[in-house]
Amino acid sequence: MASPDGKPSYSRVTRRELLKLAPVAALGAFAVPSWQPALLNRGLAFADWAAAGWFSTSRLAPTFSDSDVTPFDRFPFNSYADDDPGVDLEAWTLQVDGLVARPGKYTLQQIHALPKVRENTRHICVEGWDVIGSFGGARLKDVLTLVGADTTARFLAFECADDYYESLDMATALHPQSLACYEMYDAPLTREHGAPLRLRLPTKIGYKSAKYITRLTVTNVLQRRGYWEDMGYDWFYGL
């Protein structure tokens, strides 16, 4: 169709119409197999960036009364490789290295000597279930103080007795609800729940709360991000 001056006439596309077309264009892009990995990685990176920007050490996860807590025998647990990797609980130590003033091996008694925190918080699994549990342990930031960690470093990397591995940003590690957890329901961790020490992170999805921790490294460079994250899951995954 021509305009009065004889030139072709095109319909004006409004900003709203362009926004309506954006999902269609995105779906079309995902239909190209060679583009899918890059698009997925960019999407995950954007989600991590947005979640990290929202995160604050002064913003707390909800806490609950004892009457709201799910009974222990109804608290599910997932395992990476084995419900019990056979940790020698008497000989267990936490190997600490990286950007710390006091590297070395730390006993459970040294972690028990730190101020104890008890909190009733919700555990949310990526599989879609959630429960309210009772957890006890030392604040992760107090563990970092104990070992003389450089808290201007970017990351904490964890290794576990069952070969699982995980990492955290420093802001999450310094959050007052982030625990080096050694108790559930006012009793020592059971083997299937990660004895003798696990992470408990109520501001994160469940798979970030690694069990059977044996090593902590403070670093600015991650060699591995996390078991599930290296398979394509979100790294930050704040709640």
Residue located via tokens 């930031």: 141
Along the 239 residues of the chain, how does pLDDT read in single tens digits? 444 454 444 344 444 443 444 444 444 544 556 655 554 556 556 556 655 676 688 899 999 999 999 999 999 988 766 678 999 999 999 999 999 999 999 999 999 999 999 999 999 999 999 999 999 999 999 999 999 999 999 999 999 999 999 999 999 999 999 999 999 999 999 999 999 999 999 999 999 999 999 999 999 999 999 999 999 999 999 98
Half-sphere exposure (CA, 13 Å, Cβ side) for 210?
23
- CATH 3.90.420.10 range(s) for the chain read 58-231
Rounded CA separation 111/189 (Å): 14
Gap between the Cα atoms of 2 and 6, Å rounded: 5
How many CA atoms lie within 13 Å of 145's alpha carbon, on the beta-carbon side?
A: 10
R_g over Cα of the chain = 23
Q: What is the pLDDT of residue 8?
A: 44
229 vs 224: CA distance, rounded Å = 9
CATH number (3.90.420.10, 3.10.180.10, 2.60.40.720, 3.40.50.2300) of 58-231 reads 3.90.420.10
Strand (E) or helix (H) holding 84:
none
Tokens of 119: 């909190």
- Stated as kind and residue range, the H or E segment containing 123 is strand 116-124
Q: Is the pTM of this model over 0.85?
A: no
Quickly list DSSP for 177-216. Answer: T-EEEEEETTEEPPGGGTTT-EEE-TTB-GGGS-SSEEEE
